[in-house]
Structure 1
Amino acid sequence: MISDAEPVLSATTARDRIASGALSCEALARQCLARIEARESEIRAWTHCDPNTVLDAARQLDRMPARGPLQGLAVGIKDIFDTHDMPTAYGSPIYAGHTPSSDAAAVALIRQAGGLVVGKTVTTEFAFFNPGKTRNPHDCQRTPGGSSSGSAAAVAAGQVPLAIGTQTAGSVIRPASFCGIVGYKPSYGWISPAGLKPAAWSLDTVGVFAADVPGAALLGSVLSGRDLRIDTASGTPPRFGFCRTPQWDAARSATRTACDTAINRVTAAGGDVETVTLPAIFDDLLAAQETIMAFEAARCLAFERDRHPRQLSERLAVLLDHGATIAAGHYEAARRRAAQCRAAFADCLADVDVLLTPSAPGEAPLATSGTGDPVFNRIWTLLGVPCVNVPGLTGPNRLPVGIQLIGSRDGDAALLRAAQWLAQAFESTPADPDRKVR
């Protein structure tokens, strides 16, 4: 289990203390490095972290005027993003020792805003499903989720207050749920994917991890160029729509109970929850996402499949072989279905502000079984709508079980405000055990 030691400062608290002079960038860096040293042997969240380089960079930040809103904040970078001064292997032996000549756009923006890049965090192979070495900080026998495994685990363990990841199916929301932190997947196209090793070009979305919603909103603001910052929660409760999705049968008891509890907390805090059922046109949307992802993956990784097939995992090789057999007509039919559902989704939010849905089927499974199932994330990624995992609930094994909120396309600011409201309701409001939503 995670240590009971005092947790690392949240991103916004650390930002404020650095700005006031109460905390130096170097002192925060030392705190983060101490936590990495203390638990890296069991969590294994990092592929690269050079303490001397980190401290030198922190001292340089202390000597210069503040560069931006991330001044001195330690950030973990998923090893799917290019970094000009650190190895970038994309989770594959094919690229062992590879160091790109430039930073990915997201990394460059973090540095420009004064962020301190601590190192590279573990990704699954090319951000697909073959697990890396990382373990869940709450129980090292279990997966942290994937593909943004190291980023989620590092934030959950208090090793960094912020980290970035990517989502093509469920690679931000699911690990955030398993690790008990906030994961924010913005609206598609809000954050530049330049310098990111692509997995599927119409699905890949850069996302962020933080201990709380204001921290995620802070980093999201820097990367998207929009003002998403949250300082206080709105006094008006959002209108929630509980949506089981067509995949509800995949929800295990821990997730069903968490949804019960979330709805109880909302109503106890003065909010309203309506049941929202997706139209029948959404029933095959998950299959459409799987088709699009496989078709595009086979083309994004055409070089690796052609020149280095023996260095691909069996699971990824099977996916790429399947994607190469998908006919263009079948792919286009899936794209048309996605477009139809995007157009219809606005009606689903006609009477509510956000949807409340599962983040994952249940608690984190054992690491030997893989990184978990993105069944409750795929359709939202395909729709391109913003998603936030709100932590605060646990399952029968006392492991985190998150709640996923879904907003309208480009409605990220309102979604983050709703997530902050829900997070505060989880902290302050008892549930009514008699209300059930199963």
Structure 2
Amino acid sequence: MPYDPDPLDPLVRTLRSGDQSPTALVDTLCDRLDAVDGDVRAVLPEAGRRPRLTREAAALVDRHDTPATRPSLFGVPVGVKDIFHVDGYATAAGSAVPTTAITGPESTAVRRLRDAGALHFGKTHTTEFAYFAPPPTRNPNALGHTPGGSSSGSAAAVAAGLCPLALGTQTVGSVIRPAAFCGVVGFKPSYGRIPTDGVVPFSPTVDHVGTFTADVAGARRAAAILCDGWEPTDPDERPVLGVVDGPYLEQATDAGKAGVEAGAEALQSAGYDVRRVSMLDDIDDINDRHDRLTAAELALSHAERYAAYGDRFAEETTALIEEGQDVGIEAVVDARVATREFRERVGDRISEAGVDLLLSPSAPGPAPEGIDDTGDPVMNLPWTHGGVPALTVPCGRVGDLPLGLQCVAPFGTDESLLAWGDDIADAVADVGDVTED
């Protein structure tokens, strides 16, 4: 891997203690941005970024001159996917639509991070309106490959060491997949745990705000700030793990399957109880239902904007909106109800199988070659459909391309998922090239 991103949690400790100053960190990251983002293209250009960040960092130090009173994310620069509204910045959402037609108050997620002492490093590239029309961002591990979508820039920015924390969103697979492709930690919470107000909507029934970090402990620290009703937990026992089997797993490539098998073997070697869980025999129906729901809600979310500026929408987005316009309201209502029913079904199956977490590939395989295709989110779709929490940690690789292990928990158990995630990530950290003989 050509880049070595800084884990968020130890970085925060040095910032809060005063061992590292926010102004020095800003200077380091701006130097790095100048050096590598011409290739990676993760962050949107901003005139005067360095002096602006230097001023904000200095002001933050003045406000919190005593280490003991410094907030949880003191001095942490954060990349923000360009579908979040940030006060003082236009939101383009990866689109040619005028930014004056994409305005709104600052998102609650951004405000919570700022209130916790974080600095807005800059907007990160996204696919158009968080669908499939790709931005110019490249995978830091292999510049000829996609970083994934739609949170392309946020995943690549963390992987390239441009910022230690970034915000993304997931409506199908747009946090977990790009995190896996780029070799970082991605966290998608339970539906509704992080408010989505101030974010350009795609499909409100299944839109989630998520995070990218280089470490699970960092994801946990950010979640404690971002999630409603966060209650820290430190489980006494290791979780029982279940590898999802059946038609769902068959959607993965041989490399994707090999990655999760290698992860399962590493976890067994580390002393975990790893079982097989057969489920999702109706995955084709779940996929179809989710696709209809998201198409219909995209059409509803952008109805006025599309009527006024439809000729400026990308071909991929236009096709989905027009498909969504043909979905009947009864089908939309049924799909919305089905998401809640499926959420309960996942929890019931986890309980029946006697496991605590489900394991599966974070993507069908490694990042595809080229940047015109952001990859298939099918491995993430059911967990997004049910709104259950998901975490991806790096687990093996194919050549230079990382693979991810996706860990899924019952709805509302985000705290346990992230508490367990640290040790799981450590156990699979040394999984090597899964294509080796």
TM bucket normalised to smaller:
over 0.9
Give 1:183-194 correspondences, 5 Å limit: 183-194=186-197
Rounded to whole Å, the distance in 1 between the matches of 2:209 and 2:434 is: 37
| Change in 2 beyond 3 A, CA 1:279/1:45 | closer
Q: How many residues align?
A: 427
Provide the TM-score with structure 1 as the length reference. Answer: 0.92
The CA deviation at 1:99 is 8.4
- What are the Cα deviations for residues 296-353 of structure 1, in whole angstroms up to 9, with x where unaligned? 1100011222111110111111100000001122223333433332222222111000
Structure 2 residue 349 is matched with structure 1 residue 360: no
The reply to whether residue 402 of structure 1 matches residue 399 of structure 2 is: no
Correspondent of 1:376 among 358, 376, 379:
379
Matches for 1:15-414 after TM superposition, within 5 Å = 15-49=12-46, 50-65=49-64, 66=69, 68-96=71-99, 100=103, 102-227=105-230, 236-244=237-245, 246-278=247-279, 280=281, 283-350=284-351, 351-395=354-398, 397-414=399-416
Inter-CA distance 279–319: structure 2 relative to 1 (3 Å threshold): closer
Give how far 1:257 is off.
Answer: 1.0
- CA separation in 2, counterparts of 1:243 and 1:52? 49
Q: Distance in 1 between matches of 2:393 and 2:288?
A: 26
Distance 1:343 1:237 in 2: 23
In the alignment, residue 182 of structure 1 is paired with which amino acid?
V
**Tell me, what secondary structure is at the counterpart of 2:167?**
strand
Paired residue for 1:436? none
Deviations 1:336-386 (A, max 9, x none): 433332222222111000000111011101234410000111111010100
Q: CA deviation at 1:157?
A: 0.5
Matched letter for residue 43 of structure 1: V
| CA distance in structure 2 between the partners assigned to 1:21 and 1:336 by the alignment | 50
Partner secondary structure for residue 264 of structure 1? helix
The offset of 1:64, in angstroms, is 1.5
User: Would you say the 8 A contact 2:83–2:91 is kept in 1?
Assistant: yes
Alignment deviations for residues 126-176 of structure 1 (CA, whole Å, 9 cap, x no partner): 011110010000011111000000000000001100000000010000000
Deviations 1:181-212 (A, max 9, x none): 00000000001111000001101100000001
Cα distance change of structure 1 residues 228 and 177 upon mapping to structure 2, 3 Å threshold = farther
Q: Structure 2-normalised TM-score?
A: 0.93
- For the Cα contact (< 8 Å) 1:176–1:389, is it kept in 2? yes
Residue 30 of structure 1 and its aligned partner are, at CA, apart by: 1.3
Q: Quick check: 419-428 or 166-175, which moved more? A: 419-428
In structure 2, what is the Cα distance between the partners aligned to 1:85 and 1:109? 16
Match of 2:245, SS?
coil
Secondary structure, counterpart of 1:47 in structure 2: coil
Q: Distance in 2 between matches of 1:101 and 1:300?
A: 14
Bigger Cα displacement from structure 2, 147-156 vs 303-312 = 303-312
> Contact conserved, 2:16 with 2:70, CA < 8 A, in 1?
no
User: Is the 1:86–1:119 Cα contact (8 Å) retained in structure 2?
Assistant: no
Q: Distance in 2 between matches of 1:431 and 1:272?
A: 24
Rounded to whole Å, the distance in 2 between the matches of 1:121 and 1:222 is: 21
Whether the 8 Å contact between 2:148 and 2:374 is mirrored in structure 1 is yes
Question: Unaligned regions of 5+ residues in structure 2, if any?
Answer: none
Structure 1 residue 229: Cα displacement: 6.0
How far does residue 392 in structure 1 lie from its aligned partner after superposition? 3.5
Paired AA for residue 408 in structure 1:
P
Shift of 1:425: 0.5
Q: 1:96 to 1:367 in 2, by over 3 A?
A: farther
1:282 Cα deviation from its structure 2 partner: 5.0
1:88–1:95 contact (8 Å) kept in structure 2: no
- Measured against aligned partners, the alpha-carbon deviations of 1:252-294 in whole angstroms (never above 9, x if no partner) come to 1221110110110011000111111115455511111111101
CA contact (8 A) 2:362 2:380 kept: yes
Identity %: 36
The RMSD of aligned alpha carbons is 2.2
2-structure distance, mates of 1:145, 1:430: 22
Letter in 2 for 1:178: F
CA distance in 2, matches of 1:250, 1:159: 33
The separation in 1 between residues aligned to 2:230 and 2:100, in whole angstroms, is 37
Corresponding residue SS for 2:407: strand
Task: Pick one of 417, 420, 423 that aligns with 2:422.
Answer: 420
Letter in 2 for 1:243: V
Are 2:114 and 2:120, in contact at CA under 8 Å, matched by a contact in 1?
yes
Larger mean Cα displacement after TM superposition, 297-306 or 90-99? 90-99
Alpha-carbon distance in structure 2 between the residues aligned to 1:290 and 1:340: 17
Amino acid at match of 1:71: F
Deviation at 1:418? 2.5
Tell me how far apart the structure 1 counterparts of residues 231 and 251 of structure 2 sit (CA, whole Å): 33
Residue 76 of structure 1 aligns to a residue whose secondary structure is strand
8 Å CA contact retained: 2:126, 2:150 = yes
What is the distance in 2 between the residues matched to 1:281 and 1:8? Answer: 39
**What SS does the corresponding residue of 2:88 show, helix, strand or coil?**
coil
2:189/2:208 contact within 8 Å kept = yes
Q: Cα–Cα, structure 1 residues 26 and 186, in superposed 2: closer, same or farther, change >3 Å?
A: same
Gaps of at least 5 residues in structure 1 are 434-438
State the distance in 2 between where 1:340 and 1:8 align: 39
CA distance in 1, matches of 2:434, 2:96: 51
Which is worse superposed, 375-384 or 331-340? 331-340
